[in-house]
Amino acid sequence: MTDTEIIEYRIEHLRDRLAQEELAELGVRIELRGARVVIWGSVPDPECRSVLERLAGEELADVPWQIDLTVSHANPPDHCEELS
């Protein structure tokens, strides 16, 4: 197996963990860009982001990776929007 194939395998394992284990998070994208794994997308809260970072660290221990996640808040607005 080549290094790229090994990294792709580890990415798939991380995707499986995100879909089946603690998070059931399917809105996150994981791809290999050059020699670096990039994890991006949106998560519902900071705790989810922390779990995702931990799982990525476990699965991609010796692979360069970066994370670019947005925490989206599903709470209703706390004020009225003013329209002009």
Res 20: pLDDT = 79
Which of the pair, 70 or 27, is modelled with greater confidence? 70
| pLDDT tens figures, 12-69 | 999 988 887 666 666 789 999 998 999 999 888 888 899 899 999 999 999 999 999 9
Number of CB atoms found within 10 A of residue 38's CB: 15
Is 0.85 topped by the overall pTM?
Answer: no
Strands 65-71 and 36-43: parallel
Which amino acid, residue 39?
I
In the prediction, which pLDDT does 37 show?
97
